[in-house]
Structure 1
Amino acid sequence: MKPRLTGAAAAFLLLVALTACTPQTGGANASPSPTGSETADPEQTGFPSPSPTPTSAPVALPTDCRAILSDAVLVELGETPLNDAAFGPSGVGSDGTLTCIWADPGADTTGLTTTISRMNRGPALDMLNALANDEGFSCFTPDGGTRCEKTWPNAQYPVTDGRTLFWREDVLIDTRYSNLAPSGYTSSIVEHLFD
């Protein structure tokens, strides 16, 4: 009788283990609503889920903050200083990460900082899910990648602050801004890197 009981117990444990691995929809992983003019895929059930990592050669990280932007975006940035030493390290880091800081040291809050770095799919998915589920970011899947964004009122000044992230092919574009959000900024970088 004991062997049968042991076999039944093993079958039960296997069933429990397999059930725990079943993907779930809704709940904490429910899809946030898209914002702006871009829309999410209505067939999508879990979110965010960055596109699969490609098997081709990795996308080269950029090395020039101006070259990754369209002429229209550069016009919007106007005379805003780029990578002033007052804001600390910027430009290309030792690991190839590019940090672009568009800000005037004399301004109280106006500025924009973008970091373009490598991030594998797993950590990227974890981070984007946490932003969507825990911090109220809206996420959607434009341009073959995953984009999450959120804006909020500045705590001290009557301006808007925000953060936009875009992940694709193991490259993360992470932009934080205050009172400086050129139209098409992230899309311009995406087009330069991936098209």
Structure 2
Amino acid sequence: MNARLAAACAATLLLTAVLTGCGPADAGGSSGAPKPTSSDEATASPEASDSPTASPSPTPPSKAVALPTDCRAILSADVLSQLGETPLNDAAFGPSGVGSDGSLTCIWADPRADTTRLVTVISRMNRGPALDMLNALVANEGFSCFTPEGGTRCEKTWPNEQYPVTDGRTLFWRDDVLIDTRYSNLAPSGYTSAIVKSIFG
């Protein structure tokens, strides 16, 4: 077993142990971390209450999953209706859309608003680095993780430091694809699940 494989196995064992202790049943438990809502609110949807039934596959997919190229096409009609007239990828917020590495950045925000925004980056990330990052979020920042829809999902919310609104972050990893959403005062119900369904079917 080479060093990389050994490290991946160790990370897998660590995340498995972490997921056992931070699933939905423990979301409001003794850890002191706030019970997450997601970018499916923006995240915690009905599947968040289910017991974990899957963990990341120990082997990579035989064929790479295609990354999306259209921020609207990855969302359901219901989610789009919740976003309403919120501008998408306004130039005031910098680069967005498809990047040179194939990643997709979607920025839902009005430049006239002080805080209301939803930013999602969909990119490729191998299993080892993904598990290391998710483990670090759990250990160092109090994120809660569970395993819906064949992947691993971690999330956390917190009060905005300046305005009386809720901020949060939701990450979903599966088959070397990472969906990373940060939001403030804009959390459409079903948002992350709609993206997962669009990418993975």
Q: Deviations over 1:2-34 (max 9, x none)?
A: xxxxxxxxxxxxxxxxxxx8x689987862132
Structure 1 unaligned regions, length at least 5: 1-20
Which of 5, 11, 33 is equivalent to 2:23? 33
1:154 Cα shift?
Answer: 0.3
* 1:99 and 2:89 matched: no
Aligned match of 1:59: 65
Say if 1:141 and 1:147, in contact at 8 Å, map to a contact too: yes
Which residue does the alignment assign to 2:124?
118
Residue correspondence of structure 1 range 44-193 to structure 2 within 5 A: 50-193=56-199
Instruction: Tell me the number of residue pairs that the alignment of Structure 1 and Structure 2 aligns.
Output: 169
Structure 1 residue 53: Cα displacement? 3.9
Counterpart-to-counterpart distance in 2, 1:88 and 1:184: 26
**Percent identity of paired positions between Structure 1 and Structure 2:** 74
CA deviation map 1:117-150 (0-9, x unaligned): 0000000000001111111101000000000000
How big is each residue's C-alpha offset from its partner over 1:91-121, in whole Å with a ceiling of 9 and x where there is no partner? 0000000000000000000000000000000
Q: Give the TM-score of the pair, scaled to structure 1.
A: 0.80
Paired residue for 1:3?
Answer: none
- Residue 56 of structure 1, CA deviation: 1.7
TM-score, structure 2 length as denominator? 0.78
SS in 2 for 1:191: helix
- SS of the counterpart of 1:79? coil
Following the alignment from structure 1 to structure 2, what is the Cα–Cα distance between the partners of residues 25 and 122? 11
Listed as ranges, the gaps of 5+ residues in structure 2 are 1-9, 28-43
